[in-house]
Structure 1
Amino acid sequence: MPPEPDGTESKWPGAANGVELFAQVIWAGVLTALAGFPIITLPAAIAAGTRHLQRYLRAERSSVRNYGADFVRALPGGLVVGVMAVLVAGLLGLNIFLSLAQVLFAWPVILVLGVLGLALTVLILLQAGYHWTPDRGWKGAIAEGARKLRDDPIGGVMIVAVLAVSGVVIWLLPPLIVAAVGCLLFTVLTVNVRQRRI
């Protein structure tokens, strides 16, 4: 017997063809990896990437031109967010490095806190990128992303799990970074739109 319709195709018509959806996820990863290559442009690239996938899933126009327009709109405030994220990640990375060298007092504790802090920074960055809109801006997007993480910790764990797997995949085979980035974007999107049972 065919499965009963659950409304997925009417709400997300772009998800009807799994192969095309997978291709769009990879394509979004390519665009986001290229746009976010300077690192400080990563927040704007994430915002454009998640909006690109949302448009595709809704069967709306999801062209490179649309991606570029979103990226340009998100870039001014996104650069500030990107610089702040790089500074925080750099500080946490230095603490992790010194902890691994065991030159800090209570280095195991500092190592754990550093890794957790780094994961939280990436989580907030991904969630802020998803919640960014031209009307909301980056300040509102960061606040909304933090609220989402507070209200849905399981969703945060899901994103961290995909982030960890992506890190291992990239470490083993660096060219797969575009696929990993696309999968991360798709994970953030699905975590935010999924129906949760209370």
Structure 2
Amino acid sequence: MALRRGRGPREAAELLTDEPAPRWPGARRPFALFGEVLLVGILVTVLALPLVTLPVALAAGIRHLARFIAGDASPMAAFWADVRSGIVGSLGVGIGFWLLVGMLAVDGVLAQSGLLPGGSVVGVIVIVLLVVLPVILTRAAAEWEPGSGWALALRAGLRAATDDLRGTLYLVAAVGLLVVLTWQLIPLVIPGFGCLVFAATAVRLRRLAQLEA
């Protein structure tokens, strides 16, 4: 009965066998993991439709997938609890993110038109920043926890982005994949978001493992 009252599959496996359970048992179920990535892609896409809710959508999706990979209980109730906990504080982050993206887009258009001096250099800087911004936002979303606040998450995300350059490059590739998939066919934004959340989850778990080693 104790197992039914709150122990996840990982804890149950440790009690029923003499061997320790694998660290990330959810990753050993590829088809289930694939389905969970697609589910998270749908949830994040729907939740991010108002645009300013993108930060909390990513954070809740990453936490949900991390629970699944760890072999812990990952009900939808926990996902929505994360959304309710983080949505108010994330609105300012979402507004700021999209304002910066809009400003960079305007600068890019002006650089292309030749109205700005050094337009080619400005264009390169704009492209770099348009990649860096979503990567930092994703890393911050991965660091967010209920009750910790988004200011702390942003600082932790910036620190993680600079300390773990390999993980940051992985997220650059994931953001690029999301952009390419969406550009090819808009409905592909769903698996694109799923892949981005999966990459962010894997990068964070990898970093935590390195810090614990």
Letter aligned with residue 140 of structure 1: L
- For the pair 1:32 / 2:32, whether they are aligned, the reply is no
Q: What SS is found at the alignment partner of 2:139?
A: helix
Letter aligned with residue 96 of structure 2: M
Shift in Å at residue 133 of structure 1?
A: 0.5
Letter aligned with residue 143 of structure 1: R
| Structure 1: tracts of 5 or more residues without a match | 1-6
- For the pair 1:118 / 2:99, whether they are aligned, the reply is no
- For the pair 1:66 / 2:78, whether they are aligned, the reply is yes
* Number of equivalent positions: 192
Q: What SS is found at the alignment partner of 2:86?
A: helix
- The alignment-based identity, stated in percent, is 33
From 56, 70, 86, the equivalent of 2:98 is: 86
Q: TM-score, normalised by structure 1?
A: 0.91
Deviates more, 1:95-104 or 1:35-44: 95-104
Q: Counterpart in 2 of 1:186?
A: 198
Q: Distance in 1 between matches of 2:205 and 2:73?
A: 20
Deviates more, 1:116-125 or 1:16-25: 116-125
- For the pair 1:48 / 2:92, whether they are aligned, the reply is no
Letter aligned with residue 123 of structure 2: L
Shift in Å at residue 105 of structure 1?
A: 1.0
Superposition misfits of 4+ residues, deviation over 6 angstroms: none
Q: Counterpart in 1 of 2:166?
A: 154
| Structure 2: tracts of 5 or more residues without a match | 1-18
Q: Distance in 2 between matches of 1:165 and 1:43?
A: 19
Deviates more, 1:162-171 or 1:182-191: 162-171
Q: Counterpart in 2 of 1:171?
A: 183
Q: TM-score, normalised by structure 2?
A: 0.85
- The root-mean-square deviation of aligned C-alpha atoms, in Å, is 2.0
Could you tell me whether the CA contact under 8 Å between 2:64 and 2:74 is conserved in 1? yes
Letter aligned with residue 36 of structure 1: A
Deviations 1:124-156 (A, max 9, x none): 110111100013210110000000011111211
Shift in Å at residue 164 of structure 1?
A: 1.0
Q: Counterpart in 2 of 1:15?
A: 27
Letter aligned with residue 46 of structure 2: L
From 84, 92, 116, the equivalent of 1:104 is: 116
Q: Distance in 2 between matches of 1:119 and 1:137?
A: 24
Q: Distance in 1 between matches of 2:138 and 2:173?
A: 14
Q: Counterpart in 2 of 1:3?
A: none
Shift in Å at residue 64 of structure 1?
A: 2.1
From 119, 140, 152, the equivalent of 1:140 is: 152
